[in-house]
Amino acid sequence: MKVFNTLSGQKEEFIPLEDKRVKMYVCGVTPYDDSHLGHARSYITFDVIKRYLKFRGYSVKHVQNVTDIDDKIINRANQRGISTQELAEKYSRSFFEDMRSLNVIPADENPRATGEIPKILEIVKGLVEKGYAYEAKGSVYFRVRKLADYGKLSHRSLEQMKAGARIEPGEEKEDPMDFVLWKASKPGEPSWDSPWGPGRPGWHIECSAMSMRYLGEMIDIHGGGQDLIFPHHENEIAQSESFTGKKPFVKYWLHNGFIQVGAEKMSKSLGNLVTIKQVLGKYSADAVRLFVFSAHYRGPLTYTEAALEAAERAADTLRQAAHSPATGTKLAQTSAEDYRNRFIEAMDDDFNTPKALAAVFDLARDINRLESEGYSTAEARKTFKELADVLGLTFKAPETGPLDARLLAEVSASVYKELNRPAIFDGNAGAEKLIENLITLRGELRKARQFQQADTVRKKLEEAGILLEDTPQGTVWKRKR
């Protein structure tokens, strides 16, 4: 099993620090607004990594933080006239609801920055005592130039990084590259007591503190989006390894690529985001997961409605294989083990989900073919569901409201009137019966080669949110999404 390590810039054999035990930390959200599809990609990615590690026999302890105090939270709370705690709690709940809807397994620990102040202060004090950090006007900064290997994660030199560094108004840094560990509080901001006066933690220090508290000083996997490589993860390495006496903080750094809208990445700051709630209002969780898995996790993924529609159709194909009645009795001639081995080979190669998905879809097609030929597919279905579970697929259709019987009755009346045919339906019939009646009518028209009239039926149903699909087994309908 190999994973791509951002630190080395290449694939490495995956060997945990402690035999079959994996310690994994994933950077969490800053809850000041609803989470978007870019967040979904990251957390679905690390969810399937965790699921696959468990599938391969590892135990996984997973920690994912919540940054519940931050400049963005303070500014948004002030705009709305509420406390930072109220704002952060609202959007934290919203995030966890989104994760449940996407079938993301919860982390073992979800520590919040505001609940980890003692550990944060312990590390900051230690860095000051060792000379890696210094106090200035109530804030504490980390001395970047004290480290000869600073930049080893992002593979940049200090001079390259210095080009974008600057000292903000009110900061008293010794060097523009230095970063804040503890921020002196401003009037009206939440604050905690410290040896340097009232203040709050900087962004980078909280992840080091939480990782060390819940997982220890050295961990196997640290994950997050590629936008976190610099400065966030670079600074985590600097402060963590300086505090522990140069113990390697993380063995494998894994970073997922962005979701793009056109040429730009999806982000709150660019205003081009699509929230998870908006996506799940139109598509199933399985479709979102299949969309995410359609590209390798390290590569870019372009958002379009067409891509989500295609993912939903793909999800329908898998649902059909999962839910079709297993009636065959003959002994199958092919083994599902071949597909399982293909799946493992793909996932062992840095979690290559596009290739793993190909094996799952080929298995689904084989199940459907064998069933149509009268073969038993019990063992194949068992493997199919096992692999689908590794991908977190549920085979549940998108959640939609009840069919509107009144609307469909009006559509039926409109169809018969437009075709100048006597109404032969019961206006009080249930919605599904009304749809079936119109499908029967369309079939009669097609048989009589009255294709234009048959198409009228199809179009009227589509306008009412019902899509028809002609299959070898007959015409089937589904809700429009």
CA 349 to chain centre: 20
User: Which DSSP state fits 128?
Assistant: H
**Domain spans, the chain:** 2-265, 282-390, 405-479
From the list 88, 87, 117, the residue with the least C-alpha distance to 182 is 117
- CB within 8 Å of 89: residues ≥ 6 apart: 31, 68
Tell me if 209 sits within 8 A of 116, measured CB to CB. Answer: yes
What confidence tier does 104 reach under pLDDT thresholds 50, 70, 90?
very high
- CB within 8 Å of 358: residues ≥ 6 apart: 342, 346
Return the ∠ at Cα 305 (arms to 299 and 307), rounded to 5°.
45
At the topology level, CATH places domain 282-390 in: Four Helix Bundle (Hemerythrin (Met), subunit A) (1.20.120)
329 residue type, one letter:
T
Domain at 2-265, CATH homologous superfamily:
HUPs (3.40.50.620)
- Residue 53's H or E segment, with its range, is helix 37-55
Provide, rounded to the nearest whole percent, the portion of the chain with pLDDT above 90: 72
SS3 annotation, 198-249: CEEECHHHHHHHHHHHHHCCCEEEEEEEHHHHHHHHHHHHHHHHHHHCCCCC
Torsion angle of alpha carbons 209, 50, 287, 225, nearest 10°? 40
Q: Is pLDDT larger for residue 260 or for residue 267?
A: 260
- Residue 255's H or E segment, with its range, is strand 250-256
The C-alpha atoms of residue 154 and residue 1 are separated, in whole angstroms, by 24
What confidence tier does 216 reach under pLDDT thresholds 50, 70, 90?
very high
In this predicted structure, the answer to whether residue 425 has a pLDDT above a threshold of 60 is no
264 CB neighbour count, 10 Å cutoff: 11
Q: Is pLDDT larger for residue 332 or for residue 200?
A: 200
Give the pLDDT confidence of 129-182 residue by residue, as tens digits.
Answer: 999 999 999 999 999 999 999 999 999 988 887 766 777 777 789 999 999 999
CA distances from 170 to 78, 163, 176, 196, 205 (A): 21, 20, 13, 16, 20
- 18-27, 94-103, 376-385 — which is least confidently predicted? 376-385
Whether the bond between 118 and the residue before it is cis, its omega within 30 degrees of 0, is no
Which single residue is written with the structure tokens 């010794």? Answer: 174
Give the pLDDT confidence of 360-393 residue by residue, as tens digits.
Answer: 999 999 998 888 888 888 889 999 999 999 999 9
Question: One fold for both 2-265 and 282-390?
Answer: no
Tell me if 287 sits within 8 A of 312, measured CB to CB. Answer: yes
Q: Is pLDDT larger for residue 327 or for residue 113?
A: 113
The C-alpha atoms of residue 359 and residue 354 are separated, in whole angstroms, by 9
Q: What is the arithmetic mean of pLDDT over 83-88?
A: 97
Tell me if 123 sits within 8 A of 209, measured CB to CB. Answer: yes
Q: What is the DSSP string of 431-481?
A: HHHHHHHHHHHHHHHHHTT-HHHHHHHHHHHHHTTEEEEEETTEEEEEE--
The C-alpha atoms of residue 43 and residue 28 are separated, in whole angstroms, by 9
Task: Give pLDDT, residue 238.
Answer: 98
Which single residue is written with the structure tokens 């519940």? Answer: 68
Please give the model's pTM, rounded to 2 decimal places: 0.83
Task: Give pLDDT, residue 375.
Answer: 87
Give the pLDDT confidence of 286-327 residue by residue, as tens digits.
Answer: 999 999 999 999 999 999 988 998 999 999 999 988 987 777
Q: What is the largest CA-CA distance in the chain?
A: 91
In this predicted structure, the answer to whether residue 403 has a pLDDT above a threshold of 80 is no
In this predicted structure, the answer to whether residue 472 has a pLDDT above a threshold of 70 is no
- Residue 264's H or E segment, with its range, is strand 264-265
- pLDDT, the chain, mean: 91
CA distances from 1 to 12, 25, 244, 356 (A): 8, 20, 29, 14
> Tokens for 330?
């003959």
> Tokens for 263?
């040429």
- 301 strand-pairing partners: 259
CA distances from 420 to 191, 340, 414, 448 (A): 75, 56, 10, 16
In this predicted structure, the answer to whether residue 9 has a pLDDT above a threshold of 90 is yes
Torsion angle of alpha carbons 298, 304, 306, 309, nearest 10°? 70
What confidence tier does 75 reach under pLDDT thresholds 50, 70, 90?
very high
Q: How many CA atoms lie within 13 A of 293 on its CB side?
A: 33
- 57-71, 85-99, 162-176, 437-451 — which is least confidently predicted? 162-176
Which single residue is written with the structure tokens 């035999």? Answer: 19
CA 388 to chain centre: 16
Task: Give pLDDT, residue 410.
Answer: 85
In this predicted structure, the answer to whether residue 443 has a pLDDT above a threshold of 60 is yes
